[in-house]
Amino acid sequence: MPEAPFITIEGPIGIGKTSLAEKLSVHFDLHLLKEIVEENPFLEKFYDNIEEWSFQTEMFFLCNRFKQLEDIEQNYLNRKKAVIADYHISKNMIFAKRTLKPDKFSKYKQTYHILTDDMPVPNMMIYLHASLDTILKRIRLRGRHVEQNIKASYLAQLAQDYEDYMNEFEVLHPDIPVIRINGDEMDFVQHQEDLDKIIGLVRQHMRNHKTVSKQ
């Protein structure tokens, strides 16, 4: 029996992950899993002082995302119900490597693997990437208060971290298709034709990998 789609969307802060997940959720009739961001009580302090608040911030995100994924596995994936998420839990390691000191990262890494090693993996990944200028523009347009103090240098480093991670992901998981979307060239929020192209790519990969949905 074909497996139900479990699609995750990844990319740097402000790139449009949630917007795309919402649109694909509606089109393909997929359950939408959205990460909890602004509810993190440490986030604003983190952007003001990354070194001081990084461990608390990352641990909150890890535990929260673990619980979300656990619920999704039980209530949807185990029942062959399709899911699309605006994040992949492995993003925690991307941020933790960038922000935590070695001693804290060692503790964090152990906890991460204890929680996630037996968690379900996606059968499709959509990777959104763009130049720093585009990322900064979209963050300004989004207007989240907690993001207005993010340093451009941090975003640039994070974008490169994502690129390195996705290159490694494709090597380690050759069986999981990765759709790369260049945000400098495609604006799926403003232009329907760009969204249609992405929908076509997703549909093609669903057919090629024998996942099932209602479209």
87-97 pLDDT tens trace: 999 999 999 99
Alpha-carbon span 32 to 49, nearest angstrom: 32
Is residue 57 pLDDT above 70, yes or no? Answer: yes
pLDDT digit string, tens, across residues 5-43: 999 999 999 999 999 999 999 999 999 999 988 788 898
Give me the active site residues, please.
86
What is the percent of the chain where pLDDT is above 90? 76
Residue 200 marked in a binding site: no
pLDDT-based confidence at 206, cuts 50/70/90? confident
H or E element, residue 31: strand 31-33
Q: Report d(CA 149, CA 163) in Å as an integer.
A: 23
12 is in an annotated binding site: yes
Question: 215 lies in a domain?
Answer: no
* CA neighbor of 19 nearest in space, from 215, 206, 146, 191: 191
Number of domains in the chain: 1
| Distance separating alpha carbons of residues 92 and 96, to the nearest angstrom | 6
Read off the CATH number of the domain in which 19 is found: 3.40.50.300
Q: What is the pTM of this model?
A: 0.89
139 assigned binding-site residue: yes
- Confidence label for 166 from pLDDT (cuts 50, 70 and 90): very high
The answer to whether the annotation marks 135 as part of a ligand binding site is no
**Residue 58, domain member (yes or no):** yes
**pLDDT tens column, 94-150:** 999 999 999 999 999 999 999 999 999 999 999 999 999 999 999 988 878 778 778
Distance, in Å, from the CA atom of 207 to the CA atom of 215, rounded to the nearest integer, reads 11
Helix-helix angle 17-28:192-208, to 10 degrees: 60
Say if 213 falls within a structural domain: no
Q: If DSSP states are collapsed to H, E and C, what string results for 142-167?
A: HCCHHHCCCCHHHHHHHHHHHHHHHH
Q: Is residue 211 part of a domain?
A: no
Structural domain contains residue 35: yes
pLDDT of residue 209: 66
Length of the chain: 215
- Give the structural domain span for 94: 6-206
> pLDDT band for position 210 (50/70/90)?
low
In a domain, 116, yes or no: yes
What distance in Å separates the CA atoms of residue 70 and residue 212, rounded to the nearest whole number? 21
Does residue 49 sit within a domain?
A: yes
Asked, for residue 1, whether it belongs to a domain, the answer is no
Q: Is 199 annotated as a binding residue?
A: no
Give me the amino acid identity at 18.
T
